[in-house]
Amino acid sequence: MRTSFLSAVVTLCLLASPVSAQNLSSGRVDGLLSSLSWENSSSAPSQSNGSSGAAGSADAPANPDASAPITDPVTGGTWMEDFEDRTGWTVHTNVLHSGEKRWEGWNFATIRDWTWAVGTDKRHYFTRGDGKVAIAESKHHRLKAGEQMTTELTSPSVPITPGVAYQLEFESHYRQGSSDNTAKVVLTFDTGESKTVREFTKDSFSTHEQVGFTAPSGAQSVSATFVYGNAQDDWFWAIDNVTVTTPLPADPGTPTAVVDVISDTHNEKKYGDVIDFLNRQPDPAGAMVVNGDYVDMGYAENYANFAADRAAHPHASGREYFTIGNHEMLGTDGSDTFLHRYLDMTKQDHVWREEVVDGQPLLMISTEFYDDVARDGKEPYVVLSDAQLNWLKQRLDYWEGKGKTVFLFSHLVLPYTVTSTHSPWYGNDFAELGKLNKVLQGHDNIVMFTSHTHASLTAGDWWGVYRGADKHGFPVVNTGAVKNANLPDGDYDEEVDPALPQTTGLRVKTYPDRVRVEAWDFEKQEMIRFHDFPIHS
């Protein structure tokens, strides 16, 4: 039995197979850019231009699957499809007389190729995008004054059942242009009814959008249209992983396990206030995980100060667990000394650990070596021995066999998962990421928690999906930070914003059908938001 954390039952992935450089606008790209791969909708048979519905370029390559009907059977309201070639998707764009053809209408490219072609300008913040994504690019379309582009990307018809509640989900990355610039999502049913279910009027970076709807009487199918409108030297809209699914019940019932998760306390006195608040909760946690950087440096004095804080403010569960962050390894005492301080505090034999809290398995991994003197505080921070990796694989296999979801904790982050992990600063935390990927590959019984960035839990990608091990992936959640909060700034940096909640963390609750992750503002003592990850056995 496997536990799957697909947030979708029906997946319409906006991914496409590679194409050659011949699909680029002829004569407009040379040198390095000529090797990049994207697909231009203006030369695809599924593209139409203007109200006449006339086909695109006459010399476009044939694509017999472009308008093939969906014939998959619907079983119990479940329908799935992998759209590597975007079967059944259509693009309609108004007639234009200027601009670069390669950016006319909706196009398809990887984020890397997109940004190589037109630059970053926050396009690369789209951590939720995976493989090829659908892109409406305005800034580099270069329309002449007075012309505006409106382009529609429409999904195939998805079978539905009248009266049943559904949920449209998709990953979105939108940067607002002028006040004329619009972006919206329209659902159209085979009954002829249509409704706008989502509109964007301001910057909304790397978000997971969820829109509920009920199939009207008589409806047997629905399609979704993504409309990017009135664009003239504006910015962009990119989407990925469009999904139709049946939502979880509104009331999850009583949790079977609760775990408090904080990180990045850095010897701050706020630690005590946070623990006192958590201890007052009406649904007390069975354990607390401090996911690294509990001290600001790895010195004995820092550990002594933290021990005093712990003694004055113990977690009510009596079960406090820790991972090693990069700051536990900073200083001149040496890697072995820093590791022994951690092991002495936690009374562990190894830097890795397993605990079961009210039936909920917790796995914690940490580095086994870091030379701060040689590295001068720079990544990579995490070295995992074969012994630790073998242990992790064995425990993941074991719990998968039991049909149990595992909470996996690492202070350091995985690339392109949560806020700020687009940055090269956060792309090299693991010295041998490939080895870790081999262990994680094929496991979908994981919810992972990472820290380190101090990124705000108000960001659109406060949680994401890691697909570095395989395309299926598993959810990864940012734990926030007790010390402060920031958001991405520029190409690779970040900036602390005092207007954001500055002392944050998580409460994680296990239910029979889901894992609910609650993001909390400890200063205001209120929940910021939550997300439910379905458990499918």
501: CATH: 3.60.21.10
**Does residue 280 belong to any structural domain of this protein?**
yes
- Residues 475 and 403 grouped into a single domain: yes
- Residues 238 and 267 grouped into a single domain: no
**Does residue 250 belong to any structural domain of this protein?**
no
Q: pLDDT category, 58, cuts 50, 70, 90? A: very low
Instruction: Give the per-residue pLDDT at 87.
Output: 80
Q: Look at residues 245, 270, 288 and tell me which one is the last residue of a structural domain.
A: 245
| C-alpha of 198 from chain center | 20
Question: Max CA-CA distance within the chain?
Answer: 76
Q: Which of 224, 66, 244 is nearest to 153 (CA)?
A: 224
Q: pLDDT category, 25, cuts 50, 70, 90? A: very low
Please tell me the total count of domains within the chain. Answer: 2
Mean pLDDT value across the chain: 87
> Cβ distance 395 to 409 under 8 Å?
no
- Residues 509 and 362 grouped into a single domain: yes
**Does residue 8 belong to any structural domain of this protein?**
no
Tens of pLDDT along 472-495? 899 999 999 999 999 999 999 999
Q: pLDDT category, 383, cuts 50, 70, 90? A: very high
Instruction: Give the per-residue pLDDT at 61.
Output: 25
Instruction: Give the per-residue pLDDT at 469.
Output: 79
DSSP tag of 258: E
Instruction: Give the per-residue pLDDT at 216.
Output: 96
- Residues 164 and 194 grouped into a single domain: yes
- Residues 219 and 302 grouped into a single domain: no
Rounded mean pLDDT, 207-217: 95
**Does residue 7 belong to any structural domain of this protein?**
no
> Cβ distance 95 to 154 under 8 Å?
no
pLDDT exceeds 90 at position 14: no
- Residues 146 and 204 grouped into a single domain: yes
Q: Look at residues 220, 245, 270 and tell me which one is the last residue of a structural domain.
A: 245
Strand 204-214 and strand 474-478: the pairing is unpaired
Query: Which tokens hold the place of 3?
Result: 């536990």
* Residue 75 bridge partners (DSSP): 78
Start-to-end CA span in the chain (Å): 6
Rounded mean pLDDT, 45-68: 30
Q: pLDDT category, 537, cuts 50, 70, 90? A: low
**Does residue 64 belong to any structural domain of this protein?**
yes
* Residue 522 burial (C-beta neighbours within 10 Å; 0-12, 13-18, 19+): buried
Q: pLDDT category, 65, cuts 50, 70, 90? A: very low
What's the chain's Rg over C-alpha atoms? 25
Cα–Cα distance measured from residue 250 to residue 248, given in angstroms and rounded to the nearest whole number:
6
Instruction: Give the per-residue pLDDT at 304.
Output: 99
**Does residue 286 belong to any structural domain of this protein?**
yes
- Residues 176 and 282 grouped into a single domain: no
Lowest mean pLDDT among 359-368, 384-393, 460-469: 460-469
- Residues 419 and 456 grouped into a single domain: yes
> Cβ distance 491 to 229 under 8 Å?
no
Q: Which residues contact 380 (CB under 8 A, 6 or more apart)?
A: 428, 429, 430, 431
CATH number (domain holding residue 222): 2.60.120.260
Tens of pLDDT along 227-277? 999 999 999 999 998 999 999 999 999 999 999 999 999 999 999 999 999
- Residues 153 and 285 grouped into a single domain: no
pLDDT exceeds 80 at position 28: no
Cα–Cα distance measured from residue 361 to residue 340, given in angstroms and rounded to the nearest whole number:
25
- Residues 18 and 107 grouped into a single domain: yes
For 193, other C-beta atoms within 10 Å of its C-beta total 13
- Please give the residue range of the domain that contains residue 331: 257-534
pLDDT exceeds 90 at position 85: no
Cα–Cα distance measured from residue 206 to residue 228, given in angstroms and rounded to the nearest whole number:
17
Rounded mean pLDDT, 123-147: 95
- Residues 216 and 175 grouped into a single domain: yes
**Does residue 3 belong to any structural domain of this protein?**
no
pTM: 0.88
Q: Look at residues 217, 245, 273 and tell me which one is the last residue of a structural domain.
A: 245
> Cβ distance 220 to 159 under 8 Å?
yes
Q: Which of 474, 459, 469, 470 is nearest to 419 (CA)?
A: 459
Coil, strand or helix at 320 = strand
Q: Which residues contact 504 (CB under 8 A, 6 or more apart)?
A: 456, 457, 480, 481, 482, 485, 519, 520, 521, 522, 528
Q: Which of 298, 274, 282 is nearest to 479 (CA)?
A: 274
Supply the DSSP string of 63-115, one letter for each residue: -TTTTPPP-PPPBTTB--B--TT-TT-EEEE---SSS-GGGSS-EEEEHHHHH
- Residues 506 and 485 grouped into a single domain: yes
Determine which helix (DSSP H) or strand (DSSP E) holds 532, and give its type and residue range.
Answer: strand 526-534
DSSP tag of 300: H
**Does residue 5 belong to any structural domain of this protein?**
no
Instruction: Give the per-residue pLDDT at 287.
Output: 99
411-414-420 Cα angle (round to 5): 90
